[in-house]
Chain A
């Protein structure tokens, strides 16, 4: 036996209860005068509403509300103004689009140069620090990874550089370029001779094309690459061969899983 709900009673009163359930409610109402009264009240409300407002629908319709007349009056005008609106939108769109795509032509510095400069600056500032070299220490590396991953909106594992003789000191969040989500993560590593290397990671560039660059910048060696998921710059002042070995190891670990680097990784 189905339970009689208030919604069923209301639907019954509105004449909207499916055929099959009507008999059930009929039987229920015989035994429940209160429910019957409820239904009667809803029906009286409906009647009152129709009595109040029904007559407005029987009045003669004013000429200004005749669809044919409205169509004759506003049709062509509306279409013409729509035509202009569409043309304007298309022109503005074209202008914006061309401006956007021509942007790299006017922007003398490629995005990678900006990112490398930022990475080297951050490196220079923080490798000189002893007590505050990092914000979150390596002893909390799991938290560090989660925290930075969330901030960058991508998965960021901490590369293991034991084989190269480097251990993780820790990391921090830095303000970054608006192009790459406005945030950057810096990871710092140190070897037994207290030589330090930093890794500067941001979310992917809007274009997201893979790119590689090995460059000397402001007295430091920087190895930069970008894929559809992240941009990464390894910065240090070690001999070039050692930098290359480190960069190779970091690249291998940070791009792990980025098999389809030609495909957008996020969103």
Chain B
């Protein structure tokens, strides 16, 4: 049981990171993680000690996130993305993507694409693990990733390979 708590503890930084990237709000993200941990600890009897704790925790976190999204939609607190004021964008630096632009672009992705992209690109889950966490077939995950990346490319105005030319 203590070993279980150790395993959970080791995952907390990653859960915070993922929740922060999903919500873009420190307090909301930590509330989400706390809910997730409480639930996981209360339900630890249901968990097979041999399975991957990390994937299980992310599954719980995502369920809580979706529930919260649903109820905030119901309460009408969701702010339409079009009404969000533009963030100040630093002038694009040659050689790397403008980060603020990227951050804004990620926020405009549909939730399902954002969830998938962040599991793979940020948390480094394998495609199969990410698909399991999201309860979708691996093929569906791949297509969500593909669409997310195409959208990001469009939104950040990144042509296929601009930087080689800039450098020369």
Spell out A's residues near B (CB within 8 Å): 6-7, 10-11, 14, 16, 33-34, 37-38, 40-42, 44-54, 56-59, 61-62, 64-68, 70-71, 74-75, 78-79, 82
Contact present for B17 and A54 (CB under 8 Å): yes
Taken together as a complex, chains A and B put the C-alpha atoms of A10 and B145 apart, in Å, by: 9
Taken together as a complex, chains A and B put the C-alpha atoms of A61 and B15 apart, in Å, by: 11
29 CB contacts below 8 A, A to B, read A6-B146, A7-B142, A10-B142, A10-B149, A11-B127, A14-B121, A14-B127, A41-B149, A41-B158, A42-B149, A44-B158, A45-B102, A49-B121, A50-B121, A50-B122, A53-B18, A53-B20, A53-B122, A54-B122, A56-B20, A56-B29, A62-B30, A70-B37, A70-B38, A70-B41, A74-B38, A74-B41, A74-B42, A75-B42
Instruction: Report the stretch among B5-13, B61-69, B73-81 that lies at the interface.
Output: B5-13
Taken together as a complex, chains A and B put the C-alpha atoms of A40 and B42 apart, in Å, by: 44
Contact present for A14 and B160 (CB under 8 Å): no
- Set of chain A residues within 8 Å of B146, measured between Cβ atoms: 6-7, 10
Mark out the residues of chain B between 1 and 47 whose CB falls within 8 Å of any chain A CB in the assembled complex. Answer: 5, 8-9, 12-14, 16-18, 20-21, 29-30, 33-34, 37-38, 41-42
Contact present for B41 and A49 (CB under 8 Å): no
Contact present for A16 and B126 (CB under 8 Å): yes
List 12 other contacts, CB 8 Å, given A56-B16, A65-B33: A14-B127, A33-B161, A41-B149, A45-B97, A49-B21, A49-B118, A50-B121, A50-B122, A53-B122, A67-B12, A68-B9, A79-B42
Chain B 127-168 near chain A by CB (<8 Å), digits 1 or 0: 100000000000000100110010011000010110000000
Contact present for B121 and A65 (CB under 8 Å): no
B48 within 8 A of A: no
Contact present for A65 and B158 (CB under 8 Å): no
Contact present for B117 and A66 (CB under 8 Å): no
With contacts defined as CB atoms under 8 Å apart, how many contacts are there between chain A and chain B in the complex?
A: 114
Taken together as a complex, chains A and B put the C-alpha atoms of A70 and B9 apart, in Å, by: 11
- B129 CB to nearest chain A CB (Å): 10
Minimum CB distance partner of A64 in chain B: B34
Contact present for A34 and B120 (CB under 8 Å): no
- A43 CB to nearest chain B CB (Å): 10
- B141 CB to nearest chain A CB (Å): 10
Contact A49/B102 with A10-B145, A62-B30 known, Cβ cut-off 8 Å: yes
> Which residue from A10, A52, A61, A79 sits with its C-beta under 8 Å from B16?
A61
Contact A67/B160 with A56-B17, A61-B12, A61-B13 known, Cβ cut-off 8 Å: no
Taken together as a complex, chains A and B put the C-alpha atoms of A68 and B13 apart, in Å, by: 15
Taken together as a complex, chains A and B put the C-alpha atoms of A58 and B161 apart, in Å, by: 32
Contact present for A48 and B142 (CB under 8 Å): no
- A193 CB to nearest chain B CB (Å): 67
The interface size of chain B toward A, counting residues with CB under 8 Å, comes to 41
> Which residue from A16, A45, A57, A74 sits with its C-beta under 8 Å from B14?
A57
Taken together as a complex, chains A and B put the C-alpha atoms of A59 and B30 apart, in Å, by: 12
Minimum CB distance partner of A35 in chain B: B160
- Set of chain A residues within 8 Å of B161, measured between Cβ atoms: 33, 37, 40-41
Contact present for B30 and A64 (CB under 8 Å): yes
Contact present for A67 and B41 (CB under 8 Å): yes
- B114 CB to nearest chain A CB (Å): 10
Contact present for B102 and A53 (CB under 8 Å): no
Taken together as a complex, chains A and B put the C-alpha atoms of A71 and B38 apart, in Å, by: 7
Taken together as a complex, chains A and B put the C-alpha atoms of A59 and B33 apart, in Å, by: 14
> Which residue from B5, B99, B102 sits with its C-beta under 8 Å from A67?
B5
Contact present for B149 and A34 (CB under 8 Å): no
Contact present for B122 and A65 (CB under 8 Å): no
- Set of chain A residues within 8 Å of B106, measured between Cβ atoms: 49, 52
Contact present for B16 and A67 (CB under 8 Å): no
- B22 CB to nearest chain A CB (Å): 9
Contact present for B14 and A46 (CB under 8 Å): no
Contact A16/B17 with A10-B146, A65-B37, A68-B5 known, Cβ cut-off 8 Å: no
